[in-house]
Amino acid sequence: MGKRVVMTGNETVAEAVRQINPDVIAAYPITPSTAVVEYISQYIADGLIDTEFVTAESEHSALSACIGAAVGGGRVVNATSGQGLALMWEMLYIASAMRLPIILAVINRALSGPINIHGDHSDTMGARDCGWIQLYSEDCQEVYDNILQAVRISEHIDVRIPVIVALDGFITSHAIETLETEGDEDVRRFIGDYIPLNSILDIKNIVTYGAIDFQDYYFEHKRHQLEGLHKSAEVIKSVGKEFGKTFGREYGFFEGYRLDDAEYAIVVMNSAGGTVKTVIDDLRDKGRKVGLLKLRIFRPFPAIGIAEALKTKKVVAVLDRTSSAGAQGGPLFNEIRSALYNEPTRPKAVNYIYGLGGKDLTAEHIRGVYEALERIDKSRKIDRLVDYLNLRE
Amino acid sequence: MKTWKDLPLGGIIKDVGNTKDYITGTWRTERPVFLEDNCTQCFMCCMVCPDSAVIIKDEKVIGFNYNHCKGCGICAVECISKPKAIEMEKEEQF
Ligand code: SF4
Ligand code: SF4
């Protein structure tokens, strides 16, 4: 039986990790994710878990240590933010190419410069093409549920791909919320025992990891790697269903909130979902047909399901919490618009950049977006394809 | 050559040590030629060769493994004997 608890987002990550009891965690703390490894080191000191805690001299080393532990057959967890993820860059690609099931909680933080410690998605969005699965979380409950599911997804024999579980810095990581956690035994039964594959410590079956690969095999290996990411879609779906059966909270690629009969839709990820829902309830009371598509899985991008859900809408606004310098709007916008392109009927789509460096996104801003969508629908004209919310002009 | 579908997970190598079957000698533009009469068998060339391409048989240097020698010329520079027991020659002569 689950119990209702009160926790910050960081404590939630740590609680899920405590229940997973991984073999190794490598840590180089960085704001706003610092509390995650603080809690975990406390759990280890208190003897609650027997995880090996590796203190590294940088995030590059922390992820390298995780990779080493994973090729040695360990179940491995790590947490970081912003610049920390940026410093892991080189090793992110290596972890996914080696098909190592590592779980990395990323507490989203803006990338320097200018230096900023607050939440936006420039860190994980920058890492969107490094071959990791990316799960996004609106609140503490989703953080907890995503981390437990991430273990099953990444360790699945058809997948074996590392997973980033993202949550908004400070908004989710430091705010206290109620959530339901499950019993230790139930969680352990759900995630199951870890079955290492091709461990370098298995001296009866010696293997080499990380050998050089030229024109003859590099392309083939990259294609092979993609297959794991493609296959993960089915696994994400079935694990989400099984999680629902086991714990009563089912998950898919995205959540549609009052979306089915909506004419105007907003697409967001992470904590902004809650703000949008509040505004939707208000506007629905006034008879306006507005809805939300809150994306949970950004990689692999669930294009088909999204096109299905949005193709009959009149106008769609995609909200990106990152600026993709020089691109036609943010990465989420580009994916969504591209997913809709081959549909015979499709909505008009606009992009809003919001919340960079932790700038607030309020209900008023969301109401303004829905009004703009109605204006675009009436005039059939898009004045600004990419616009900014809450920016002083 | 294998297709992508035939490859093991994570690009691992299961038959470890298969580097010796991977012919890299074709990269060479010059090759070391062994002049046995000048050689003092000091083994300096074996120690400095980055590709383990100096062949030793019965405790004696007898020449080079041209499947893996990349022609860097380090052995020829470091060879201590005078006159040298290793000379670099243009690959197209062979
Ligand atoms: S030329 Fe270079 S690679 Fe070839 S035998 Fe000499 S040292 Fe080794
Ligand atoms: S370095 Fe020169 S002298 Fe010494 S073993 Fe090699 S070839 Fe012979």
Confidence of residue A91 (pLDDT cuts 50, 70, 90): very high
- pTM > 0.90: yes or no: yes
Provide the token pair at A331.
Answer: 């990465």
Region A5-27: mean pLDDT is 97
Scanning the structure block, which residue is given the tokens 């009927």?
A345
Q: What is the pLDDT of residue A34?
A: 98
Provide the token pair at A174.
Answer: 């430091």
Helix locations, A72-160, DSSP H: 82-87, 89-97, 122-126, 140-155
Nearest of A93, A21, A6 to residue A53 by alpha carbon? A21
Q: Are residues A179 and A144 in contact, defined by beta-carbon separation less than 8 angstroms? A: yes
Whether a cis peptide bond, with omega within 30° of 0, leads into A344 is no
Alpha carbon of A270 to those of A8, A14, A120, A167, A247: distances in Å? 15, 19, 10, 6, 22
Percent of chain B residues past pLDDT 90, beyond the cut: 88
Alpha carbon of A341 to those of A74, A233, A242, A291, A296: distances in Å? 43, 21, 33, 21, 21
Confidence of residue A227 (pLDDT cuts 50, 70, 90): very high
Region A40-53: mean pLDDT is 98
Q: How far is the CA of B74 from the centre of ligand 1 (A)?
A: 6
CA B57 to chain centroid, in Å, comes to: 15
Q: Which member of B2, B3, B12 has the closest CB to residue A207?
A: B12
Region A34-62: mean pLDDT is 97
Confidence of residue B20 (pLDDT cuts 50, 70, 90): confident
The protein residue whose alpha carbon is closest to atom 2 in ligand 1 is B72
Confidence of residue A1 (pLDDT cuts 50, 70, 90): low
The protein residue whose alpha carbon is closest to atom 8 in ligand 2 is B39
The protein residue whose alpha carbon is closest to atom 7 in ligand 1 is B49
Q: What is the pLDDT of residue A2?
A: 86
DSSP collapsed to 3 states, chain A: CCEEEEEEHHHHHHHHHHHHCCCEEEECCCCCCHHHHHHHHHHHHCCCCCCEEEECCCHHHHHHHHHHHHHCCCCEEEEECHHHHHHCHHHHHHHHHCCCCEEEEEEECCCCCCCCCCCCCHHHHHCCCCCCEEEECCCHHHHHHHHHHHHHHHHCCCCCCCEEEEEECCCCCCCEEEEEECCHHHHHHHHCCCCCCCCCCCCCCCCECCCCCCCCCHHHHHHHHHHHHHHHHHHHHHHHHHHHHHHCCCCCCEEEECCCCCCEEEEEECCHHHHHHHHHHHHHHCCCCEEEEEECEEECCCHHHHHHHHCCCCEEEEEECCCCCCCCCCHHHHHHHHHHCCCCCCCEEEEEECCHHHCCCCHHHHHHHHHHHHHHHHHCCCCCCEEECCCCC
A298, pLDDT greater than 70: yes
In sequence order, which residues have a C-beta less than 8 Å from that of residue B47 and are 6 or more positions away?
none
Domains detected in chain B: 34-94 (3.30.70.20)
Q: What is the pLDDT of residue A390?
A: 97
B5 vs A: CB within 8 A = yes
Confidence of residue B17 (pLDDT cuts 50, 70, 90): confident
pLDDT, tens only, B32-65: 999 999 999 999 999 999 999 999 999 999 999 9
Region A166-185: mean pLDDT is 98
Residue B3 to residue A213, Cβ atoms within 8 A: no
Task: Collect all residues of chain B within an 8 Å Cβ-Cβ radius of residue A213.
Answer: 11
Q: What is the pLDDT of residue B19?
A: 85
Cβ < 6 Å from ligand 2: which residues? B 39-45, 61, 79-81, 85-86
Region A165-172: mean pLDDT is 98
Mean pLDDT of chain A: 97
- Residue of chain B whose alpha carbon sits nearest to that of A208: B13
A219, pLDDT greater than 90: yes
Task: Collect all residues of chain B within an 8 Å Cβ-Cβ radius of residue A207.
Answer: 12-14, 16
For residue A148, the SS3 value is helix
Domains detected in chain A: 3-247 (3.40.50.970), 254-388 (3.40.50.920)
Q: How far is the CA of B80 from the centre of ligand 2 (A)?
A: 6
Residue A60 half-sphere exposure, CB side, CA atoms within 13 Å? 4
Residue B4 to residue A221, Cβ atoms within 8 A: yes
pLDDT, tens only, A329-352: 999 999 999 999 999 999 999 999
Residue B4 to residue A224, Cβ atoms within 8 A: yes
CB count, 10 Å around CB of B78?
15
Q: What is the pLDDT of residue A101?
A: 97
